[in-house]
Amino acid sequence: MEREVRVRFAPSPTGALHIGGVRTALYNFLLARKTGGKMILRIEDTDQTRFVPGAEDYIRESLEWCGIELDESPWKGGPYAPYRQSERKPIYMQYAQQLIDAGHAYYAFDTAEELDAMRERLKAAKVATPQYNAITRMTMKNSLTLPEDEVKRRLDSGDPYVIRLKVPRKEEVRLQDMIRGWVMVHSSAIDDKVLMKSDGMPTYHLANIVDDHLMKITHVIRGEEWLPSAPLHVLLYRYLGWEDTMPQFAHLPLLLKPDGNGKLSKRDGDKLGFPVFPLHWVDPNTGEKSTGYRESGYLPDAFVNFLAFLGWNPGTQQEIFSMDELIQEFTVERIGKSGTRFDIQKARWFNEQYLRAKPDSELAGYLMEALKEHNITTTHQTAEKVAGLMKERVSFPQDFWKEAQYFYVAPTEYSEKVASKKWNSQSVAVFEDFKNELLSLQDINADTVKELLNSILERHGMKIGQVMQALRLAVTGAEAGPDLMQIIEVLGKEETAQRIETAISKLSSYATA
């Protein structure tokens, strides 16, 4: 009988969640929902020295913002609670002891100074990667080299020790990765990793394997940086007798810098001016502030769509996917092996597409919010019209005010470049007539305004192209924008006439024949 698919996202609360971590969580979530399985979140906080206050809440809020729903977590509970490794401390020692009893692990009593001396000896002997392994372990203080009675005495007297995995000297360790195929590593390249630290806390390697087994995890989707540890994890599954239920592994490609040269870091984002965290973050230790995608104006759906394509593709030309569509189309097999370049312009493009797809009534909300901040009152109906006119010109919600403020604030300055080229006595004569006759219009809409302007231009023997840019300058103060006739419809005849009159007065020096 097939097992229920159970995946987990297992971040450490050591700071803000990198978008690479969000992508990992997303792919796990998509697989869980695609297969009708469960999505688990486990906080891996065994290294208490790196714990950062607020980091766990940040992880929770980030996933909620992205729409990544959890079936089991420290906040929701579940059948395999607790879901914080620090709260599971009593569980791990029995498995470390099981490994010792079976001859697959041992006690090591080496001091920090003795470990440093060992590494220096190996460096002096030109050993490329000094390790505590099958060869060097026999020169150190551990339960493999010390007499049994001394080991017992040290343990009984409370001497500090760690428990290390006893990695075989000559063995090929193999695992099948869902993305990379067969991965083979010789055991001589694996060191005797510490499984239990001297403070009684497990290391990532032991806690990770024990928890995945006890929580019945069937698939481990994680970053490529964990690939070197995978053979070690295979050995642990084998030595604990769990090889038959070992999860399937999928190691995701790296997120690369925009130039493709190395892994994307926060420093790259700071340098190039884009976020690498989903939400705003203030480091409680340094006070350093980092902006997030949410605060930068990215919509969660657009952000998720963008993230999904950083390593995965549907095999079609379609780019815009709702979460439900991503769930429907997602397969691990369509995740690439090679790293993916990070392209912030593509993220911006996704955001634009999602904004434009929203109804004008919803977009008006963004504008109304900004107007409130500037103490400007308007009707929702007018804000809807303005948002509809501007949505093809914005990338973020906050752009609505930036791009559309001339609807609410009359221009006081004008482009000298446009005025010097387009403002002249002939255009002013047209504008005078247009202003006066506009006020007499009963029904003002884009069509009637355009009809009026064309009739005046015909009387003056001019074409619309000769005055349009100057008229836009007078009405909006901008050089470009949406259809000017529609802008005038929104502004109304009195406001438009007043703006034209002000421009004629202020730009009189350019009105030469």
Which amino acid is it at 505?
A: S
pLDDT tens profile 42-84: 999 988 788 899 999 999 999 999 999 999 999 999 999 999 9
φ, ψ for residue 483, nearest 5 deg? -50, 125
Round the average pLDDT of the chain to a whole number and report it: 95
Both tokens assigned to 446: 């884009």
- Give the residue from 422, 438, 419, 435 showing the smallest Cα distance to 506: 419
More confidently predicted of 354 and 3 = 354
Which residues fall within 8 angstroms of residue 162, CB to CB, at 6 or more apart? 107, 108, 194, 195, 196, 197, 198
Instruction: Give the side-chain half-sphere CA count within 13 A for 226.
Output: 19
Strand partners, 172: 186
Instruction: Give the burial string for 309-329 (b: 16+ CB within 10 Å, else e).
Output: bbbbebeeeeeebebeebbeb
Task: Indicate if the pLDDT at residue 101 is higher than 80.
Answer: yes
Distance CA 213, CA 512 (A): 85
How many contiguous H segments (helices) and E segments (strands) does the chain have?
A: 20, 13
Phi-psi map region of 273: left, alpha, beta (phi>0 left; psi -120 to 50 alpha)? left
What average pLDDT does the segment 143-153 reach? Answer: 98
At residue 396, what is the residue type? F
- Residue 511 pLDDT > 80, yes or no? no
At 12, the pLDDT band (50, 70, 90 cuts) reads very high
Degrees to nearest 5, angle at CA 101 with 96 and 103 = 95
138 burial (CB, 10 Å; 0-12 / 13-18 / 19+) is: exposed
Q: Which of 389, 411, 414, 416 is nearest to 400 (CA)?
A: 389
Residues 133/192, Cβ–Cβ less than 8 Å:
yes
- Rounded Cα–Cα distance for residues 172 and 186 (Å): 4
* Termini Cα distance of the chain: 90
Residue ranges at the known binding site: 266
Q: How far is CA 41 from the centre of its chain?
A: 17
Closest CA to 73 of 33, 61, 65: 61
- What residues are designated binding site for ATP? 266
Predicted confidence at residue 49, as pLDDT, reads 83
Q: How far apart are CA 298 and CA 282, in angstroms?
A: 19
Q: Decide if 17 contacts 9 (C-beta within 8 A).
A: no
The whole-number pLDDT of residue 416 equals: 87
Check residue 512 and give its pLDDT.
63
What integer pLDDT is reported at residue 513 of this predicted model? 47
Confidence at residue 5, expressed as pLDDT on a 0 to 100 scale:
98
Annotated catalytic residues are 266
Q: What is the dihedral of CA 271, 306, 71, 244, to 10 degrees?
A: -90
Give the residue among 214, 210, 184, 225 at the shortest CA–CA distance from 72. 214
**Total residue length of the chain:** 513
Mean pLDDT of 393-418: 93
- pLDDT tens for 453-485 read 999 999 999 999 999 999 999 999 988 999 999
Share of the chain above pLDDT 90, in %: 89
DSSP 8-state code for residue 316: S
Q: Compute the 3-state secondary structure of the chain and give helix, strand, coil in percent, each to the nearest 5.
A: 50, 10, 40
